[in-house]
Structure 1
Amino acid sequence: MFAAYATHFDADRPLDGLRLGERPRPEAREHWAVVRVRAASVNHHDLWTLRGVGLRQEALPMILGCDAAGVDEDGNEVVVHGVIGATGHGVGPDERRTLLSERYQGTFAEYVAVPRWNLLPKPPELSFAEAACLPTAWLTAYRMLFTAAGVRPGDTVLVQGAGGGVATAAVILGTAAGLRMLVTGRDPAKRERALTLGADAALEPGERVPRPVDAVLETVGAATWRHSVRSLRPGGTLVISGATSGQALPDAELTRLFFLELRVVGSTMGDRDELAALLSFCQASGVRPLIDSTLPLDRADEALARMERGDLFGKLVLTG
């Protein structure tokens, strides 16, 4: 089968380790299913894999991709929840949690094998491309907003970094749930587009918020950390699920954290029940993922190059 996969790591030139070509078609074992992938979305996780983060050399070659929508052997249209392990469903009960493309081959391929427990029915209202955006970036945003931050309608949330998959998902979901959403971004065009998605304000990086916010969603890391902490009201919550600009903090703002009794909450992906709730939310509300572009699988190198440059607004989707 055709696939996009990593053959070696390069921290500085990650795309050098990417190959497009034939890989063995997966076989289903007991309690697993083989899904014909119709669409898979691109995530920063794929670039981190090519850089050698979270993957051992002996796991190579590894097919990239950690979420997908497709059709199972019985003809059912399904969405793949990409978190494997830590449940006992289809794997050993003591197996640690991993994403597809870490221990098991990923979704940038014509077929992917996953535990049957990881399959959820695709709502007919969602296209395969839309559904493929949900299990990673959109599920991350959903968990950050409604589980980790615990915000309620009428609250104000700041999202650092307009334009990425998690950021656009958070703005769309938050607006639909009755939240006041603020975003930051370096690109004026992306800030303007964030306003069209429902954001109440789009600020330049580091620009002071109109008033302190109830929660901040942080995926950028070192470059925006100080602004995130200083934008919160007393007792507010900072939810972090990534650090694309690095982890080294010149000033962790510890005094402000304890003096204002701020909460810092780590958040990673989401569980199967949260993905089911997200699918239902999209189905009932009419909310749909924002797709920047859809490319065929054999142009995965172009999609990953665009993600590396930050040349996107919304999700990039590969179709087979």
Structure 2
Amino acid sequence: MRAAYASAFDDANPLAALTVGERPEPELPEPDWVTVEVRASSLNHHDLWSLRGVGLSAGQLPMVLGCDAAGVDPSGAEVVVYPVVSDPGDPRGYSILSERHPGTLAERVAVPRANLVPKPAGVSFVDAACLPTAWLTAYRMLTTRGRVADGEAVLVQGAGGGVATAAVVLAVALGKRVYATSRDPGKRERIAELGATALESGARLPERVDVVIETVGAATFDHSLKSAAPGARIVVSGATSGYEPKVNLRRVFAMQLEILGSSMGTPGELADLLALCQERGIQPVVDRVYGFSEVEKAFARLHSGDLFGKVVLDHTR
């Protein structure tokens, strides 16, 4: 079968480590695993890190890339693939597809049957393929971890990235007052079109917020603390600008703030996210859709950093 895979590691130029070619059909490591015919998949920065050698060893090469996919199971049912697999050998207790088991950037992928979430008829394969990683992370940050409630305000730092952009769309759909920051004027303009109040990074907000979605880290964390209302939840799922910010602990205890880590979500939360998208007509922000034959162009687009939203592969093209 045709697949996109890491054939080497190249930290300086990860695209040089990408190969597109034939790979063996997926193996089913356990009786409860099944093979899914992939109809659409989407790229994540996790794929670029894999090409750089982060989270993989040379002995695991070649490794099919990709975490996110939607497709058809052996019974013909339309499904979305939940990418987290139980892994006692990993310190986290789990691994993500393309870390230990071959990923989704292929014609077919093997996954545990329990990882198949029914795809609602009103959600396309392309849209569904955007959801399992970045969008699920944003959904969990807002709901399970952030416990966002009616009448509350949300700040999203670094809007334009995959998780941050998803958080803006979802928070707006949930009826919240949403503020979003970006250093890029073009991204601020596009964020405003999604329904948020777009501000320059570090700008003073019109009000203090109840939930902060933090994926940037050191560059924005002090602003997140200063923007938080008493009892607010600052939910962290990334640190692209550095993971050791200075933290004013006096503000943390005086304002009774919660700083919460978050990563991915559960199959049940993915099902809830899919239902929300169908019920409210939410469509993921898609930067560009490529046919699977254009996978190298898709990776180049992701690597460029110029994208706004998800890069998707339509496996039917």
Q: How does the TM-score come out when normalised to structure 1?
A: 0.93
Correspondence 1:175 to 2:176 = no
Among candidates 202, 219, 226, match of residue 222 of structure 2? 226
2:200 corresponds to: 204
Q: 1:186 aligns with which of 178, 183, 187?
A: 183
Q: Which residue of 2 aligns with 1:217?
A: 213
Q: Which residue of 1 aligns with 2:118?
A: 121
CA distance in 1, matches of 2:31, 2:2: 24
Matches within 5 A, 1:94-105: 96-105=93-102
- Distance across 1 between alignment mates of 2:50 and 2:247: 28
1:297 matched to 2:296? The reply is: no
- 1:227-281 CA-to-partner distances (Å, cap 9, x unmatched) read 21221112211101111223232x2333322332211100000001101111111
Read off the aligned partner of 2:250 and give its amino acid letter. Answer: T
Distance 1:158 1:306 in 2: 27
Residue 31 of structure 1 corresponds to 32
Q: Corresponding residue for 2:50?
A: 49
CA distance in 1 between partners of 2:224 and 2:301 (Å): 27
- Where 1:299 maps in the other structure, the secondary structure is helix
Residue of structure 2 aligned with 1:288, choices 279, 283, 293: 283
Letter in 2 for 1:62: M
Correspondence 1:80 to 2:81: yes
Question: SS of the residue aligned with 1:104?
Answer: coil
Counterpart Cα distance in 2 of 1:150 and 1:297: 38
Matching residue within 126, 129, 148 for 1:151: 148
2:269 maps to 1:274? yes
Question: Is 32-41 or 292-301 further displaced after alignment?
Answer: 292-301
Structure 1 Cα separation of the partners of residues 243 and 56 of structure 2: 19
Match of 1:280, SS state, is helix
- Give the CA deviation at 1:313: 1.3
Q: 1:19 is matched by which residue type in structure 2?
A: T
Displacement of 1:95: 9.6
Compute the displacement of 1:74 (Å): 1.9
Aligned-residue CA RMSD (Å): 1.8
Cα 1:41–1:274, aligned 2, differ >3 Å: closer, same or farther?
same
* Contact map agreement 1:85 1:95 (CA 8 A) in 2: no
Measured against aligned partners, the alpha-carbon deviations of 1:161-185 in whole angstroms (never above 9, x if no partner) come to 1222212211111111111111111
State the percentage of identical aligned residues.
57
State which of 251, 255, 259 in structure 1 corresponds to 2:254. Answer: 259
Whether the aligned pair in 2 keeps the contact of 1:129 and 1:317 (CA below 8 Å) is: yes
4+ aligned runs moved over 3 Å, structure 1: none
CA apart distance, 1:63: 0.9
Q: How does 1:241-256 map to 2 (within 5 A)?
A: 241-249=237-245, 251-256=246-251
Residues 164-220 of structure 1: CA deviation (Å, up to 9, x unaligned)? 221221111111111111111122121111111111x10111112122111110111
State the Cα distance separating 1:24 from its structure 2 match: 1.0
Q: Distance in 2 between matches of 1:83 and 1:208?
A: 38
Q: Relative to 1, partners in 2 of residues 1:316 and 1:261: Cα closer, same or farther, differing over 3 Å?
A: same
Picking from 290, 305, 309, the partner of 2:304 is: 309
SS of the aligned residue for 1:25 comes to coil
How far has the Cα of 1:223 moved from its partner?
Answer: 1.9
Local SS of the residue matching 1:233: strand
Give the secondary-structure state (helix, strand or coil) at the position aligned to 2:175: coil
| Shift, 1:53, TM fit | 2.0
Structure 1, unmatched stretches of 5+, are none
Letter in 2 for 1:207: A
Is there any run of 5+ residues in structure 2 with no aligned partner, and where?
A: none
What SS class does the counterpart of residue 34 from structure 2 fall into?
strand
Q: In structure 1, how many angstroms separate the alpha carbons of the residues matched to 2:64 and 2:244?
A: 30
Q: Aligned pair in 2 of structure 1 residues 9, 214: CA closer, same or farther (>3 Å)?
A: same
- The CA deviation at 1:316 is 0.8
